[in-house]
Amino acid sequence: MRLDKIRKLVETVPGVSTSTYVPDDGNRYPTLRVTWDQQAWGFSISDCGARTSRQRSHHRSVGRGQSQLGDRGVREGNPNSKVRKAPDHIELVSMTIKPGEEMIVGQRLRAVLAAAWKKAA
């Protein structure tokens, strides 16, 4: 599965956690949730989106903007919350990642998270 490849890459960064689930409403495709301790790292979900959109790998960006972090199914968490608060995770939706793109997305996300982790350490 494409999400498994991404998961294996980003979980090599200390402090990064992932989980895969299928949402109950709307999109019913396997979705990878990626989290880290934003406060301890001094690196937010928005920071991650900004870094991944500025430094593109191949022709795909991992991150960009508020609710849709990328053109390949990456989005900030808490999209349906009625109370606007800072997102606490990013999500990668399997159906929007084409075959072969999982390595691009996984490597880019791992590089951004690893750099943030090293800076915080």
The band of 67, judged by pLDDT with boundaries at 50, 70 and 90, is very low
Q: What does the block give as tokens for 33?
A: 């949730």
Q: How many residues does the chain have?
A: 121
Which tens digit of pLDDT belongs to each residue from 46-61? 999 888 876 554 444 4
Entry pTM: 0.76
Is it the case that residue 40 has pLDDT exceeding 90? yes
Task: Report pLDDT for 77.
Answer: 52
> Contact at 8 Å (CB) between 101 and 108?
no
What percent of the chain is predicted at pLDDT more than 70? 73
pLDDT tens column, 27-39: 789 999 999 999 9
Name the pLDDT band for 20 (thresholds 50, 70, 90).
very high
> From CA 17, how far away is CA 26, in angstroms rounded?
24
